[in-house]
Structure 1
Amino acid sequence: MAEQPPASLSTVAENYLKVIYSHTEWQPDAMTSSQLAARLGLAPSSVTEMVRKLTAQNLVEHARYGTIVLTATGRAEALRMVRKHRLIETWLVREFGYGWDEVHDEAEVLEHAVSDRLLDAIDVRLGHPAADPHGDPIPAADGSVPALDGVLASALAAGERGRVLRISDRDPDVLRLLAAEGVGIGSVVEGAQLPDAVAGHVWVARTA
């Protein structure tokens, strides 16, 4: 059972936990400090200090020079932020006409300001969506997340087909390129159809 988190986490702490969770969501390898620093665009020394604080708060476990793993408490907090982020992205696309390449940065700001009450209202308004516009699953209010089963499109052999499950939202240019090519969630693509620089951003379920 997860211990109680600190009464109020800082925005920085919430961002760290969300990034650490997201790193292992679609692949099994735990995150290293250098990967976390690169993902956040911060100096390794700054990341080391923050990870030390998160460890002291029982939010992560981190052996010296080892990987960073969320505790049960840290995972619960990460899922709370991930739920906020993805519901807000979906809300911006459906209700305000944002493009799927425009919502990530907006959600990064709004997720720290939206109350749980407003978030629940957004969830109801949207009909309790299961996934965000990029195919990432939206955790339920109880923290449960459906099992994920997909491979990168770059893993498809020539002529092998896969149905698009998820497209990373980290690079808006990739999202715009795929939209221009008519590729979205649910599209069927073939191995070698997508350029290497794009295939590494797309997860698919192999089809017969």
Structure 2
Amino acid sequence: MSLDTVVEDIRDDARARAEEIRAEGERRADEIVSEAEADAEEIIETAEQDAQQEIEREREQRLSSAKLEAKQARLEARREALQDVREQAGQAVAAIDGDEREELTRTLLDAAATEFEDASTVEVYGRGEDADLLESILEEYDGFELAGETECLGGVVVEAEESRVRVNNTFDSVLEDVWEDNLKTISEELFEER
């Protein structure tokens, strides 16, 4: 075997070995590319799922927020409507006049007077516009005198220093009691909630 033949055999072995290394490198590179593409697809799929979930969460939050705002607006509108009805009721009560006003005022004064049977001097306060009416009614009560005005729709506030009792029998207080006792029914009638 000659030196040329040995050199040629070594070159052939080297070429074969180089070809094997190149083929192994290409195979490994294909595996790496394939794994990278699979990882990229998985990352994209996960990102799409996360984005979809975030979109759904955001939509739910906005929907929930919109429902809450609508509910608050509806409640505010109802509060305003109830306040309007309450004001109209107050105006209607303030407008009561004549015999009906006198009868209601007497009834309220009679109810308050029972608290002051032992008092020598009882002070009565009422609406300024009712001064003449109160003066004429108070003529029938011993020791009762009109002491001044109070801000109200009508009726009386009665007090005596000796007893330290103050009775608020104004139209306002009666209206407030009736309003509170019937608010549910008023609301149901007003908003047809049956």
TM-score (norm 1): 0.21
Which of the two has higher C-alpha Rg?
2
TM-score (norm 2): 0.22
